[in-house]
Amino acid sequence: MSKVLYYAIFLILMFGIYGAGRLSYRQFHAGDICPELLGIPACYIILACFLIPFFAQLFELNQVLFFTGTILAWSIAAYGTTTQLMGTAECPKTSNGTPMCFISLAIFTSLILLKIAERSIPLQPLE
């Protein structure tokens, strides 16, 4: 079960890197797509928040790195979702109109919960 969780986390991170990477690419070339946080486009920050846990998972680094990236991104996505729902800000949207901050919140919530589950399962020796 631990291996299933490990690879599920890995696949979700790859999906997130792909999505945030595409959005960051569009932001870099077209500009004014992502809202800014402290003068930095949020999609760049979210991309970094996918890359940090990706490398922490891939190289089995300190779990603090994994949780730092995912909790920071979860916080940004929760803020974006809240402001989107209140109508005080606009998140970038998918082609079907779904705000991407909703998707980010779901992805990072899933990553955090899966990592907690993965850590709670004792490692079994390979036979």
Region 6-34: mean pLDDT is 93
State the pLDDT confidence band at 32, using cuts at 50, 70 and 90: confident
CB count, 10 Å around CB of 107? 23
Spatial distance between the Cα atoms of 89 and 91, rounded to a whole number of angstroms: 7
State the pLDDT confidence band at 122, using cuts at 50, 70 and 90: low
- Residue 74's nearest CA partner among 49, 53, 99, 41 is 49
Spatial distance between the Cα atoms of 54 and 67, rounded to a whole number of angstroms: 11
pTM, two decimals, is: 0.87
Percent of the chain, pLDDT > 90?
74
Can you list the positions of beta strands (E) in 1-127? 36-37, 40-41
| pLDDT tens figures, 48-102 | 999 999 999 999 888 899 999 999 999 999 999 999 999 998 888 988 999 999 9
